[in-house]
Amino acid sequence: MEYRPLGRSGLNVSVISIGTWAIGGENWGKVDDQDSIAAIREAIDQGVNFIDTADIYGKGHAEEIVAQAIEGRRHEVIIATKVGNRWNERGEVWPDCSYDYIMQAVQASLKRLRTDYIDVYLIHRPDPNTPIQETMRALEKLYRDGVVRAVGVSRYSREQIEEAQRCLDLHVAQYPLSIFRRKEITPILPFCRGHNIGVMAYAPLAKGLLTGKFDENTTFPENDLRAHSPMFQGEAFKRRLEAVDKLKPIAAKYGKTLAQLAINWNLCQPGVTTALVGVKTPAQVAENVGGAGWRLSPEDLKAIDEIVAGLTDLDK
């Protein structure tokens, strides 16, 4: 496994990191908790030391599963969790990045994770009702008190991350990035490189599309968010499947799978620290780890761009 410095945080993280959205048990179809625990443990055994979760994933369930998986191994892992989505018993969710709520939420995350500190604490999404200065004041307090070891933001616009950086030196930023999805992170990467901010690039497999396991007849259950995603509907889906077929020979040239090519593509983007990949089973871990330890050539990176020209950022 390769490791890279996570910005100026002082933390060295594996270039492959574990995403736990699916492990929360919502939005991604059927998931088995014991499989999830086994997957996390397998990843640690494979040298993956960075686990990303959030309080909203399964309304706390993902954090609890992470705690079970790392029991006795806390010292081997770097945990990132996120705050900023508030919910109630009716299933309603809304943004809340106020000082008071962050102070309340961090204690709940610490309890669910069964730890007395969080390595990386991220604001999950912007809150239009709370000034960024107030949100950063909460992160600064937690950082100064040693409750968290590094702080950052997720999916802030270029203007928002600039404002946040003026309030507090950020260590980490998190954004979606894949061969098919680039627009959101494009203006952010130069800023992060210039300020030594580590970048966690998530969704490299484009919701599974870049695994190559889907065809035009693929359907998803109603509790799977892909059932309602434009990316998996009609002509857009068909065109991307055609592009996926054209990418497969490039992966084969390296003796790699399409998913491994997609992960490696993320790691080749200047400024990206780690590719954040969701897992539900140990078998998926073995596949993901194969995305590291090699590098696509400049010629093949160019060929990939040509294959997907006109197909990027067609959905959100």
pLDDT digits (tens, 9 = 90+) for 186-239: 999 999 999 999 999 999 999 889 998 887 777 777 777 777 777 787 888 888
Q: How far apart are CA 200 and CA 156, in angstroms?
A: 13
Residues 253-260, mean pLDDT to the nearest whole number: 97
To the nearest whole number, what is the mean pLDDT of the chain? 93
Residue 84's domain spans which residues? 3-206+257-295
Of the two residues 48 and 213, the one the predictor is more confident about is 48
User: Is position 194 within any domain?
Assistant: yes
Provide CB contacts within 8 A for 281, sequence distance 6+. 35, 38, 39
- Sign of the C-alpha dihedral computed for residues 316, 179, 155 and 60 taken in this order: positive
Q: What's the pLDDT band for 316 if we cut at 50, 70, 90?
A: very low
CATH code, domain with 199: 3.20.20.100
Confidence of residue 314 (pLDDT cuts 50, 70, 90): low
Catalytic residues: 57
Nearest alpha-carbon partner for 82 in 96, 100, 68: 96
Region 112-118 average pLDDT: 98
Instruction: Write the pLDDT tens digit of every residue in 6-22.
Output: 999 999 999 999 999 88
Asked whether residue 51 is domain-assigned, the answer is yes
Q: Residue 215 falls within a domain, yes or no?
A: no
Mean pLDDT, residues 46-67 taken together: 95
pLDDT band at 24 (very low <50, low <70, confident <90, very high): confident
122, 154 Cβ separation under 8 angstroms: yes
In a domain, 309, yes or no: no
Closest CA to 210 of 244, 256, 181, 246: 244
Structure tokens at 217: 């007849």
Residue 163 lies in a domain: yes
The answer to whether residue 148 sits within a structural domain is yes
Q: Across the strands, what pairs with 224?
A: 28
pLDDT tens column, 168-182: 999 999 999 999 999
* pLDDT, tens digit (0-9, with 9 covering 90-100), for 87-106: 998 888 999 999 999 999 99
Q: How confident is the model at residue 144 (pLDDT cuts 50, 70, 90)?
A: very high
Q: Which residues contact 43 (CB under 8 A, 6 or more apart)?
A: 16, 18, 51, 279, 285, 288, 289
- In this structure, the number of other CB atoms found within 10 A of the CB of residue 3 comes to 16
Question: Into how many domains does the chain fold?
Answer: 1
Integer Rg of the chain from CA: 19
The DSSP code sequence of 121-144 is EEE-S--TTS-HHHHHHHHHHHHH
Cα separation, 86 vs 94, in Å, equals 5
Q: What percent of the chain has pLDDT over 90?
A: 80
As a whole-number percent, the residues of the chain with pLDDT over 70 amount to: 98
